């Protein structure tokens, strides 16, 4: 049996099916009617030392509206906003025109040397408005030309904004550069992946933090007739076999919308960060921002926003959380006395959090040395635990920790009440 026959037998015997689209004959016959990419997508071929590469460009004039936002320009202080969100100082003072928005389309979602980047979209703001340029890999054999132009584009900018680019787009692009023998891609400047701040601000508030959900719920932009991302690799493979550019026009559109949303999302974040109290932002979002800022070390601003949430919606859903956060922040700033009324207020509310009782117990034990009040707090905390247990909560280490605290307070009280008696513990 020839190798050929054995292959047929091993792989085709089970399901004798009609030739796949990959088959030579069908490829050739379709090729006759196929429309090349440049007859479907307006664009041009650029020559490089490694051959030609197709690209297309579109500029959105300053009046263009994407959802509720205008895509006119980035404000001069955009770098400060990004710096605030990412805690990376290198963003401060960045020229908004040197920021590149970046997104890729690939032949799969797995990281690995066999996943290929075939479409790269970049966006930037200029005097004429927002420009999107898309570079397209017409066939694998032109990869070096394709990467050459991408490297040139990356080299013209000073900062990068992506959505999930840190974990996905950039590592894949790096693979391609290495495989093509071109060394790592020239991105030695700040890179902000908006997925991370988006998660901090909206996780739990939205169905997910995928770009599509952010568009629908935050940017008020609703796609119609968009190609689902899962179909993209298949489209490209089919294109490779048929050379039918119509297959890919929707992929170009999809990529362009992603870039537009990316830029809009940044504008939205900037407006929100610089003026969170403006109408349109819910207390939950402001609270999330305050927590993000606190995590980044901007204590002053976060305190202001915690207080704003409390003022804005007395008795609202966010009140208890805001109170707890504010109290913790005050404690962190060394103003524990200011936090006490907040904790006391929290104990009057019917929440299941043990924090206020524990914090107050600590305060009375260590700051005011009022052991009786401290003991009272632990007893009340026990009551809450009992309640939680009855409702089937998983209590974890809480009972043990509480018991430990109780025992210590008991010992201290005993020592206070009977100063002559040496406890067993101190005798040791």
Partner 1 sequence: MNLVQILDDFRQNPKIQSRLTAWRVLPAREGNYADLPGDLDPRLRKALTARGIHRLYSHQAEAYRRVQEGEHVIVVTPTASGKTLCYNLPVLQHTLQEESCRAIYLFPTKALSQDQVAELNHLIDLTGADIKTYTYDGDTPTDARKAIRAAGHIVVTNPDMLHTGILPHHTKWMKLFENLRFVVIDEIHQYRGVFGSHVANVIRRLKRICRFYGSNPQFLACSATIANPGELAAKLTGEKVRVVDNNGAPRGEKHFLFYNPPVVNHRLGIRRSCILESKDLAAIFLRQGIQTITFTRSRLMVEVLLTYLRKAVGALSRIPKTPSATVIYGYRGGYLPRERRRIEKGLRTGEITGVVSTNALELGIDIGSLQVAVLCGYPGTVSSTWQQAGRAGRRAGVSAAILVAGSSPLDQYVVTHPEYFFGGSPEHGLVNPDNLYILVSHLKCAAFELPFQEGEEFGVDATSEILEFLEEEGVLHRAGNRWYWMSESFPAEEISLRSASAENFVVIDTTNGSRVIGEVDRPSAPMLVHEEAIYIHGGQQYQVERLDYEEKKAYVRQVDVNYYTDANLAVQIAVLEVDESQETAGAVKNRGEVSVTAVATMFKKIKLYTHETIGSGRIHLPEEQMHTTAYWLTVPGSITTNWKPDDLQAALVGLATLLENIAPLYLMCDTRDIRAVPQVRSPFTGLPTVYIYDSYPGGIGLSEKVYSLHEQLLSAALEVLENCPCREGCPSCTQKEIEKPNKGLTKNLLLALCSQQNHQPASGPTQGNSAPEKTWRTTDECQG
* Residues in touch with partner 1 (CB under 8 A): 1, 3-4, 6-7, 9-11, 13-14, 19-24, 107-114, 116, 139-141, 171, 174-175, 178-179, 233-234, 237, 240-241
Burial of 72 (0-12, 13-18, 19+ CB in 10 A): middle
Smallest separation (angstroms) from partner 1 to the CB of 46: 19
Report the residue number, 180 or 308, with the smaller CB distance to partner 1. 180
106 vs 261 by CB, closer to partner 1: 106
Report in angstroms how near the CB of residue 196 gets to partner 1 at its nearest.
16
CB of 16 to partner 1, least distance (A): 13
The interaxial angle of helices 355-362 and 336-348, nearest 10 deg, is 140
| Secondary structure (DSSP) of 62-127 | TT-EETTEE-S---TTHHHHHHHHH--GGGTT--GGGEEEEEEEES-SS-STT--EEEEEEEEEET
Inter-residue contact 357 to 345 (CB < 8 Å): no
Q: How far apart are CA 360 and CA 347, in angstroms?
A: 10
Q: From the CB of 312, what's the least distance to partner 1, in Å?
A: 40
Nearer to partner 1 (CB atom), residue 175 or residue 261? 175
- Closest CB to partner 1 among residues 14, 424: 14
How many other C-beta atoms are found inside a 10 Å radius of the C-beta of residue 315? Answer: 8
Least Å distance between CB 426 and partner 1?
Answer: 30
Specify the residue, 83 or 233, whose C-beta has the smaller distance to partner 1: 233
For the bound state, the minimum distance from the C-beta of residue 240 to partner 1, rounded and expressed in Å, comes to 5
H-type helices in 275-370, by residue range? 283-295, 299-312, 319-332, 336-348, 355-362
E strand segments, 148-241: 159-162, 191-193
Rg (CA), the chain: 30
Q: Nearer to partner 1 by C-beta: 138 or 285?
A: 138
């Amino acid at each position: 049996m020839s190798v050929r026959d054995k292959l047929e037998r091993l792989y085709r015997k089970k399901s004798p099916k009609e030739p796949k689209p990959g088959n030579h004959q069908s490829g050739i016959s379709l090729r006759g009617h196929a429309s090349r990419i440049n007859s479907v997508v307006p664009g041009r071929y650029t020559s490089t030392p490694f051959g030609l590469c197709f690209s297309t460009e579109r500029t959105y004039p300053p009046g263009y509206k994407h959802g509720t936002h205008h895509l006119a320009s980035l404000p001069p202080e955009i770098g400060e906003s990004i710096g605030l969100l990412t805690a990376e100082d290198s963003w401060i003072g960045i020229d908004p025109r040197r920021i590149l928005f970046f997104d890729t389309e690939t032949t799969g979602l797995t990281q690995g040397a066999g996943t290929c980047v075939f479409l790269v979209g970049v966006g930037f703001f200029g005097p004429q408005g927002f420009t999107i340029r898309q570079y397209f890999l017409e066939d694998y054999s032109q990869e070096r030309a394709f990467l050459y132009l991408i490297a040139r584009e990356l080299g013209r900018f000073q900062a990068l904004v992506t959505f999930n680019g840190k974990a996905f787009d950039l590592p894949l692009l790096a693979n391609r550069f290495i495989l093509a023998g071109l060394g790592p891609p020239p991105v030695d400047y700040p890179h902000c992946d908006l997925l991370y701040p988006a998660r901090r601000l909206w996780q739990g508030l939205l169905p997910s933090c995928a770009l599509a959900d952010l568009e629908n719920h935050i940017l008020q932009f609703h796609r119609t007739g968009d190609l689902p991302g899962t179909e993209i690799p298949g489209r490209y493979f089919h294109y490779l076999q048929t050379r039918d550019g119509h297959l890919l026009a929707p992929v170009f559109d999809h990529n362009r919308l992603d870039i537009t949303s990316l830029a809009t999302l940044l504008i939205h974040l900037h407006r929100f960060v610089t003026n969170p109290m403006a109408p349109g932002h819910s207390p939950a979002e402001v609270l999330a921002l305050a927590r993000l800022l606190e995590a980044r070390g901007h204590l002053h601003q976060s305190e202001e926003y915690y207080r704003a949430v409390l003022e804005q919606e007395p008795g609202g859903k966010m009140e208890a959380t805001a109170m707890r956060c504010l109290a913790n922040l005050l404690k962190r700033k060394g103003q524990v006395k200011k936090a006490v009324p907040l904790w006391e207020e929290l104990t009057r509310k019917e929440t299941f959090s043990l924090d206020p009782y524990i914090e107050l117990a600590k305060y009375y034990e260590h700051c005011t040395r009022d052991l009786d009040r401290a003991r009272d707090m632990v007893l009340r905390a026990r009551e809450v635990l009992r309640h939680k247990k009855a409702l089937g909560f998983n209590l974890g280490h809480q009972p043990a920790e509480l018991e430990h605290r109780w025992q210590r307070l008991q010992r201290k009280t005993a020592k206070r009440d009977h100063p002559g008696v040496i406890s067993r513990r101190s005798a040791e």
